[in-house]
Amino acid sequence: MTGGERGGDTASALTSVPRHVGIIMDGNGRWAQERGLSRTSGHRAGAENLREIVKACVRFGIQILTVYAFSTENWRRPQPEVQGLMWLVGRVIDSEAEELNRNGVCVRHIGSLSRLSEGLRKKIQWATELTRENKRLIVNVAFNYGGRAEIVSAVRKIVHDGVPLQEIDETLIASYLDTAGLPDPDLVIRTSGEMRLSNFLVWQAAYAEYYSTPTYWPDFDEEELRRAIIEFGNRQRRFGLVSSQV
C-alpha cells in the first residue's frame, strides 16, 4: 500500500492505467505548519495543486477522478478553518469552472448540499450544470461527504421508493449511491502517509487497490501520480479469486 522508490519513470512504464482514481487529499495543514503558514494557506495550496493533477489525469488517460475535499466529520474542525474552506471552494468554482468546461471536464458533486450556504450551493449547482455534458474527464468532488452517510441516504431512498425486499441487491444499492452510473474506483491514493479510508467511498472502494505516499497533498505532483499508477500496474487484482483463476 505504500509508495515506491523515486525514479525516472516514463510514460512507457504505464502498462495499466486505472479507469477511476480516488484521492484522499491529506496533509494540507501539516504542509502549511511546517512552513510557518496558516492551515488555510495549506488548503489554498492544495486547491491550486488539484488543477495540476486534473491536467495530469487527462494526460495519463484516467477517465474518472474522485477527490475527497471535505468530509461530514470536518465540520468539527475549528470554525475559522471551516469558514476558510467554504470561502475557498466558492473561489475555486469562480476561477476554474469555465476553464474546466472549455477543456471538456465534467464536474460532479457527491455528498450533501445541506449545511452549505445558499450562495455556495448555487455555485456548486451552476458548475455541475455548466459542465454536465463534458466527456474528457469526470471529476467527482466529495464535499460534505461521508461514505456511511451516503449508504444511509441510499437505504432511505430505497425504502421511500417502496422497493420490494427481494429486489434489493448490490446492483440496486449502487444505483442509489451518489456515484450511480459510474464504475467503482480501481485505485485509491492517500497522501501524507496515513493508512486509513476516513469514511471515503466505503462501498465503492471494496475492491480498489490502495496506495499511500508520505508526500503531503500540495506536493503531490504529476510524477507522484505516475508512481502510483505504476504501482497499480504491478498489482494483481483478484476480486476474491486465487491467482491461477485471474
Q: What amino acid positions are annotated as catalytic residues?
A: 26, 74
Least Cα distance to 191 among 163, 155, 218 occurs for 218
The count of other CB atoms within 10 Å of the CB of residue 96 is: 18
62 contacts 54 by C-beta, under 8 angstroms: no
The cell for 151 is 449508504
Alpha-carbon span 133 to 130, nearest angstrom:
8
Alpha-carbon span 112 to 219, nearest angstrom:
29
Is the CA virtual torsion 27, 197, 15, 62 positive or negative?
A: negative
Alpha-carbon span 213 to 25, nearest angstrom:
11
Q: Where are the beta strands (DSSP E) in 25-162?
A: 64-71, 105-110, 137-145
199 contacts 148 by C-beta, under 8 angstroms: yes
